[in-house]
Chains A and B, each alone.
Chain A
Amino acid sequence: MTIVEIGLPKRLVELTLDGESVRVPEGATILDACTAQGKSIPTLCYGDTLKPANACRVCMVEVEGARTLVPSCSRKVEPGMVVRTDSERTRHSRKLVLELLGSATDLSTTPHVDEWMSACGADPARFGPDAATVAQPIKVDNPLYVRDLGKCIMCYKCVDACGDQWQNTFAISVAGRGFDSRISTEFSVPLPESACVYCGNCIEVCPTGALSFKREHDKREDGTWDEEAQTQTTTICTFCGVGCNLTLHVQDNEIVKVTSPHESTVTHGNLCIKGRFGWQHVQNR
Chain B
Amino acid sequence: MSRRKKTEPYVRLTQPLVRDAGVLRPATWDEALDKAAEGFRRNVANGGPDAFGMFSCARATNEMNYMAQKFTRAVIGTNNVDSCNRTCHAPSVAGLAKVFGSGGGTSSYQEIEDADLIVLWGSNAREAHPIFFQHVLRAVNKGAKLYVVDPRLTSTGKWAHGWLRLKVGTDIPLAHAIAREIIASNLTNMSFVERATEGFQEFVKAVEPWTLPVAELETGVPAALIRELAHAYAKADRGQLSWTLGITEHHNGTNNVLSLINLSLLTGQVGRYGAGLNPLRGQNNVQGGGDMGAIPDRLPGFQDITDPSVAKKFNDAWGSNFKAAKGWNLTQMLEAMERGDMTTVYIIGENPVQSEADCEHTIKRLSNLDHVVVQDIFLTKTAQLAHVVLPAAAAWCETDGTFTNSERRVQRVRKALTPPEGARDDIEIMGEIATRLGADWQHKTGQDVWDELRSLSPIHTGMTYDRLEALGGIQWPCPSEDSLEPSFLHGRLWEEDPVKRGMPATFSPVPHSPPVDELTNEFPFRLTTGRRLDSYNTGVQSSGFESPLRMGETLDLCPQDALMLGVEAGEEVAITSRRGQIQAPVRIDDGLTPGLVFMTFHFPDEIDVNIITIEATCPIAGTAEYKAAAIRIDKLPVKVG
Chain A interfacial positions (CB closer than 8 Å to B): 1-5, 142-144, 164, 166-168, 191-192, 196-199, 231, 233-245, 248, 250, 253-255, 263-268, 270-275, 277-285
Contact = CB atoms under 8 A, between A and B. Distances in A.
Interface in B392-415: 394-398, 403-407, 409, 411-415
Contacts, number: 196
B281 A240 contact: yes
Given A241-B282, A241-B286, A233 B405 contact: no
Contact size range, B: 35 or more
Contact of B416 (A235, A277, A278, A280): A235
A235 to B, nearest CB: 5
A281 B416 contact: no
A250 to B, nearest CB: 5
B232 interface: no
Nearest to A241: B281
B114 A5 contact: yes
Contact of A166 (B11, B134, B543): B134
B486 A1 contact: no
Interface of B: 9-12, 14, 59, 109-110, 114, 128-132, 134, 137, 141, 159, 271-274, 280-287, 377-378, 394-398, 403-407, 409, 411-418, 420, 472-473, 486, 491, 494-496, 533-536, 540-549
Nearest to A239: B536
Given A235-B397, A273-B533, A277-B545, A242 B406 contact: yes
Contacts of A191: 548
B131 A239 contact: no
B132 A242 contact: yes
Contacts of B420: 285
Nearest to B286: A241
A4 B273 contact: yes
A278 B496 contact: no
B544 A271 contact: no
A93 B283 CA distance: 51
A144, A241, A274, A278 — most chain B CB neighbours (10 Å): A241
B533 A235 contact: no
Contacts of A284: 9-12, 544
Contacts of A237: 284, 396
B548 A2 contact: no
A271 B9 contact: no
Instruction: Please report whether the interface of chain A is mostly helix, strand, loop or mixed according to DSSP.
Output: loop
A5 B413 contact: no
Nearest to B59: A238
17 contacts: A2-B272, A3-B273, A143-B548, A196-B548, A235-B413, A235-B414, A236-B396, A240-B282, A241-B129, A241-B284, A255-B416, A266-B405, A272-B130, A274-B535, A278-B544, A281-B377, A281-B542
A245 B413 CA distance: 9
A178 to B, nearest CB: 30
Contacts of A282: 12, 377, 394, 397-398, 417, 544
B348 to A, nearest CB: 15
A198 to B, nearest CB: 6
A19 B507 CA distance: 65
Given A240-B129, A281-B541, A282-B377, A273 B12 contact: no
B414 A234 contact: yes
Given A243-B411, A270-B134, A198 B472 contact: no
A241 B397 contact: no
Contact of B549 (A197, A238, A239, A242): A197
Contact of A248 (B11, B114, B416, B544): B416
Nearest to B543: A281
A264 B472 contact: yes
A254 B109 CA distance: 32
Contact of A278 (B287, B405, B414, B541): B541
A274 B494 contact: no
B426 to A, nearest CB: 14
A267 B131 contact: yes
A239 B532 CA distance: 12
B244 to A, nearest CB: 10
B114 to A, nearest CB: 7
A281 B540 contact: yes
A271 B131 CA distance: 6
Given A236-B396, A277-B545, A2 B491 contact: yes
Contacts of B414: 233-235
A279 B397 contact: yes
A245, A250, A254, A265 — most chain B CB neighbours (10 Å): A265
